[in-house]
């Protein structure tokens, strides 16, 4: 069954909706330029609302070890999602002992990672435009067909521009084992919709059952 991650959770309403929808992963964004940014204390308070449920993923952009460790001192995370190169991912894995997913922006098939020396997984999305203020979360899709027969060296999630309306088609074309959404389930930047979260998870899961 396709794994589902809802990222950018920053409110009690959004947190409860992700839990109730049965998503596999719940993401907190620790990057101040994002409209979905939360502090470690805010993430901890949200996470405490429900024991168990989705695995907690912390998103970091080119962080230093001190910052990541400071966040972990306040909130328990299961996985780190890192925007940075393979060396930085290796450092974060060594310092924290947590699984690390590396976010990779792609334009062509040549951009897909061929090896996973330390990464426990990848988040594959459209490369950020030159004028973007964030490396990801820009609601952009790419040609999903370039990834359909990719022999990935680690588990991966498809991200970028996904919505409840196109997630089934994205899975069908890309053969993605997992999907990741943030702005695609929002009514405005940073404001999650309970109904859109429910529909996104449902549509991803319905398609998963159809192809089995």
pTM for the model: 0.93
Determine whether 175 is exposed, middle or buried from the number of CB atoms within 10 Å of its CB (0-12, 13-18, 19+): middle
Q: Residue 148: what pLDDT?
A: 86
Q: Residue 7: what pLDDT?
A: 98
Rounded Cα gap, residues 103 and 183, in angstroms: 16
What residues does 104 pair with on adjacent strands? 124
How many other C-beta atoms are found inside a 10 Å radius of the C-beta of residue 149? 9
User: pLDDT digit string (tens) for 3-22?
Assistant: 999 999 999 999 999 999 99
Tokens 């996973």 belong to: 116
Question: Which residues span the domain enclosing 196?
Answer: 3-211
Give the pairing of strands 25-29 and 3-6.
parallel
Q: Residue 132: what pLDDT?
A: 61
Q: Residue 207: what pLDDT?
A: 67
Residue 164: give its domain's CATH number.
3.20.20.70
Q: Residue 196: what pLDDT?
A: 98
pLDDT surpassing 70 at residue 208: no
- Count of domains forming the chain: 1
128 pLDDT band, cuts 50/70/90, is confident
Q: Residue 206: what pLDDT?
A: 86
Q: Indicate the average pLDDT of the chain.
A: 93
Q: Residue 133: what pLDDT?
A: 60
User: pLDDT digit string (tens) for 165-182?
Assistant: 999 999 999 999 999 999
Rounded Cα gap, residues 62 and 103, in angstroms: 11
140 pLDDT band, cuts 50/70/90, is confident
Half-sphere exposure of residue 160: CA atoms within 13 angstroms, side-chain side: 24
């Amino acid at each position: 069954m396709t794994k589902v991650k809802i990222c950018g959770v920053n409110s009690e309403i959004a947190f409860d909706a992700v839990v109730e929808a049965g998503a596999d992963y719940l993401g907190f964004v620790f990057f101040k330029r994002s409209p979905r940014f939360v502090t470690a204390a805010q993430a901890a308070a949200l996470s405490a609302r429900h024991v168990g449920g989705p695995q907690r993923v912390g998103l970091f952009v080119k962080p230093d070890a001190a910052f990541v460790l400071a966040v972990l001192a306040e909130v328990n995370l299961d996985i780190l999602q890192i925007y940075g190169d393979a060396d930085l991912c290796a450092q974060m894995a060594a310092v924290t002992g947590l699984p690390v997913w590396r976010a990779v922006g792609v334009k062509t098939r040549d951009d897909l990672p061929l090896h996973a020396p330390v990464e426990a997984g990848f988040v594959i999305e459209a490369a950020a435009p030159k004028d973007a203020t964030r490396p990801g979360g820009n609601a952009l899709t790419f040609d999903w067909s370039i990834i359909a027969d990719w022999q990935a060296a680690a588990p991966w999630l498809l991200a970028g521009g996904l919505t409840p309306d196109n997630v089934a088609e994205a899975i069908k074309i890309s053969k993605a084992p997992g999907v990741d959404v943030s702005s695609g389930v929002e009514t405005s930047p940073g404001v999650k919709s309970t109904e859109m979260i429910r529909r996104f998870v449902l549509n991803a899961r319905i398609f998963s059952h159809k192809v089995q």
